[in-house]
């Protein structure tokens, strides 16, 4: 960033690093979910950096790229491909997280065939105590986790109490599988089973989801999360019940029937709106994926949050938390945040998608919308806390950079800027998600 050597930036960063953090989005289950790292390249390509390596891999199969993350493939087998792709990728923000933990966890400055052997010797040191220590030392007070959709023992194990989470975990309901792009008999019966119901109509299906929501709330969920944008557009039409029911009944009448896409879209749309009414009734905030997606070869135009306009206008009593800076559609997102009282902006993942964009978003959000509507950080990683902490380090730099700019241009004084940083990182999400955390 432009301010790295300025005393004002250093002063801001030092204070921001001491602030408590509500981590607004993770896919972490707890220490039991931690992948076992037996091989150093697999340990260094966790999460998003693999997408950048893949993007560099012209002429290489996806299977070969995925082998880089496979701990059972030997380092020698991987090294020639990894060396080439890492050389092409090492300056991206995803790769910067790898470089940060290369230094902080393994004490290495560069990746060479020799340093990989030294990293291999330290892989076994990542135990359960280290997992929690890493989170605690970073100042993270709570983590909003989206894992209920892929628990090893299923959502039922959360509802019956046999799957539990560590103290700082705050789970959210995972919504996409309840209004999938291709609904089938299996979805209907599994949702019914969670509610102890046998479903014979569309109305009963929505009722079953309502029961599931109620049971999830009893187990401590703090909201709903939906990342359907990976597989469909964010245009949710208002569909007549009869049209949705016709599609639902086609599956119901014969368990061997499946709905395809896009023919199943009206039903998915109808159910999404029905679930937003449940979100209102149960007072559950809704996190929505917008913008950039993990992986490669997807279409970003279908994820622009501008397509949510009718949802945001209709469901005025639902609080929406729009993710990822809607990257790369910054102006559209700022408009939504400025224009709708029920919309907040969530910078999760954004700080390592595009750091200058994150700085730009934070700065322009100060000029354009109430600062109470910005959530500053979410790691969006799996169960490797070192990656979350590396990401948080970059996020804190981005926040310090944005605020330094605003002080230098005379828009804010230092005290105001630090108060904004506290709101972004802690106070706003603490209030928005009803976490009731004490400031430590």
**Based on CB atoms, which residue is closest to Zn ion, 177 or 416?**
177
**Cα end-to-end distance, the chain, whole Å:** 30
Minimum gap (Å) between residue 317 Cβ and Zn ion: 25
- Interacting stretch for Zn ion, rule CB under 5 A, among 66-74, 202-210, 372-380, 426-434? 372-380
Minimum gap (Å) between residue 100 Cβ and Zn ion: 20
Instruction: State how beta strands 320-322 and 224-226 pair.
Output: unpaired
Minimum gap (Å) between residue 36 Cβ and Zn ion: 22
CB of 19 within 8 A of CB of 426? yes
CB of 179 within 8 A of CB of 272? yes
**Based on CB atoms, which residue is closest to Zn ion, 392 or 421?**
392
The verdict on 380 binding Zn ion (CB under 5 A) reads yes
**Based on CB atoms, which residue is closest to Zn ion, 60 or 294?**
294
**Based on CB atoms, which residue is closest to Zn ion, 354 or 380?**
380
**Based on CB atoms, which residue is closest to Zn ion, 78 or 225?**
225
Minimum gap (Å) between residue 23 Cβ and Zn ion: 12
Radius of gyration of the chain from its Cα atoms, rounded to whole angstroms: 22
- Interacting stretch for Zn ion, rule CB under 5 A, among 209-217, 376-384, 405-413, 418-426? 376-384
Minimum gap (Å) between residue 146 Cβ and Zn ion: 6
* Percent helix / strand / coil, the chain, rounded to 5: 55, 10, 35
Minimum gap (Å) between residue 386 Cβ and Zn ion: 18
- Interacting stretch for Zn ion, rule CB under 5 A, among 111-119, 215-223, 375-383, 431-439? 375-383
**Based on CB atoms, which residue is closest to Zn ion, 202 or 222?**
222
Sign of CA dihedral 334, 340, 341, 342: negative
d(CA 421, CA 406): 12
d(CA 361, CA 347): 9
**Based on CB atoms, which residue is closest to Zn ion, 69 or 195?**
69
258 DSSP assignment: B
Minimum gap (Å) between residue 121 Cβ and Zn ion: 32
| Closest residue to Zn ion: CB criterion | 380
Minimum gap (Å) between residue 370 Cβ and Zn ion: 25
- Interacting stretch for Zn ion, rule CB under 5 A, among 156-164, 246-254, 255-263, 379-387? 379-387
- Interacting stretch for Zn ion, rule CB under 5 A, among 260-268, 269-277, 378-386, 395-403? 378-386
**Based on CB atoms, which residue is closest to Zn ion, 3 or 289?**
289
- Cα separation values, 139 from 212, 289, 311, 389, 425, Å: 33, 25, 35, 10, 10
**Based on CB atoms, which residue is closest to Zn ion, 155 or 293?**
293
**Based on CB atoms, which residue is closest to Zn ion, 346 or 405?**
346
**Based on CB atoms, which residue is closest to Zn ion, 380 or 405?**
380
Q: How many CB atoms lie within 10 A of CB 420?
A: 24
CB of 44 within 8 A of CB of 384? no
- Interacting stretch for Zn ion, rule CB under 5 A, among 115-123, 133-141, 229-237, 380-388? 380-388
Minimum gap (Å) between residue 35 Cβ and Zn ion: 17
How many residues contact Zn ion, by CB under 5 A? 1
d(CA 137, CA 104): 13
d(CA 180, CA 251): 13
Minimum gap (Å) between residue 110 Cβ and Zn ion: 30
For residue 44, the number of C-alpha atoms closer than 13 Å in the C-beta half-sphere is 33
> What element of type H or E holds 269?
helix 265-282
**Site track for Zn ion across 27-46, x = CB under 5 A:** --------------------
Nearest to 302 by CA among 288, 292, 310: 292
Distance of CA 345 to the CA centre of its chain: 13
Give strand ranges (E) for 315-422: 320-322, 343-346, 374-375
d(CA 142, CA 291): 25
- Interacting stretch for Zn ion, rule CB under 5 A, among 73-81, 132-140, 238-246, 377-385? 377-385
Region 328-347 residues binding Zn ion, contact defined as CB under 5 A = none
Q: What are phi and psi of 381, to 5 degrees?
A: -115, 175
Minimum gap (Å) between residue 49 Cβ and Zn ion: 15
The residue ranges that bind Zn ion (CB under 5 A) are 380
């Amino acid at each position: 960033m432009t301010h790295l050597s300025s005393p004002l930036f250093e002063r801001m960063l030092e204070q921001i690093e001491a602030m408590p953090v509500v981590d607004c989005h993770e896919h972490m289950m707890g220490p039991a979910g931690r992948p076992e790292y037996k091989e150093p390249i697999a340990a260094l390509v966790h999460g998003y950096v693999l997408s950048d390596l893949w993007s560099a891999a012209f002429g290489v199969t996806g299977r070969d790229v995925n082998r880089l993350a496979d701990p059972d493939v030997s380092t020698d087998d991987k090294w020639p491909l990894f060396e080439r792709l890492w050389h092409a990728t090492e300056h991206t923000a995803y790769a910067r997280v790898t470089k940060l933990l290369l230094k902080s966890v393994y004490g290495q400055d560069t990746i060479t065939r020799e340093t990989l052997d030294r990293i291999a010797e330290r892989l076994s040191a990542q135990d359960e105590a280290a997992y929690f220590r890493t989170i605690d030392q970073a100042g993270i007070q709570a983590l909003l986790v989206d894992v209920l959709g892929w628990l090893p023992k299923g959502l039922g194990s959360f509802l019956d109490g046999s799957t539990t989470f560590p103290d700082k975990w705050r789970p959210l309901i995972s919504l996409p599988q309840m209004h999938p792009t291709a609904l089938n008999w299996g979805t209907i019966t599994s949702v019914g089973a969670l509610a102890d119901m046998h479903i014979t109509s569309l109305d009963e299906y929505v009722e079953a989801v309502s029961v599931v929501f109620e049971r999830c709330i009893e187990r401590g969920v703090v909201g709903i999360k939906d990342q359907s944008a990976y597989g469909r557009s964010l245009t949710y039409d208002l569909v007549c019940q009869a049209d949705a029911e016709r599609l639902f009944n086609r599956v119901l009448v014969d368990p061997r029937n499946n709905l395809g896409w896009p023919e199943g879209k009206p039903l998915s749309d109808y159910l999404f709106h029905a679930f937003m009414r449940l979100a209102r009734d149960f007072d559950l905030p809704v996190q929505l994926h917008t913008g950039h997606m993990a992986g490669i070869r997807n279409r970003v135009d279908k994820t622009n949050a501008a397509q949510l306009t009718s949802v945001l206008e209709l469901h005025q009593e639902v609080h929406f938390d729009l993710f990822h800076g809607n990257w790369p559609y910054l102006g559209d997102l700022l408009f939504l945040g400025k224009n709708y009282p029920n919309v907040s902006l969530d910078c999760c993942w954004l700080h390592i998608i595009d750091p200058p964009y994150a700085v730009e978003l934070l700065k322009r959000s100060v000029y354009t919308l109430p600062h109470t509507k910005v959530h500053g950080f979410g790691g969006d990683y799996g169960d490797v806390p070192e990656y979350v902490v590396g990401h948080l380090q970059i996020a804190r730099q981005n926040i310090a950079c944005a605020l330094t700019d605003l002080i230098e241009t005379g828009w804010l004084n230092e005290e105001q800027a630090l108060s904004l940083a506290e709101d972004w990182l802690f106070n706003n999400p603490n209030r928005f998600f009803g976490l009731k955390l004490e400031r430590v």
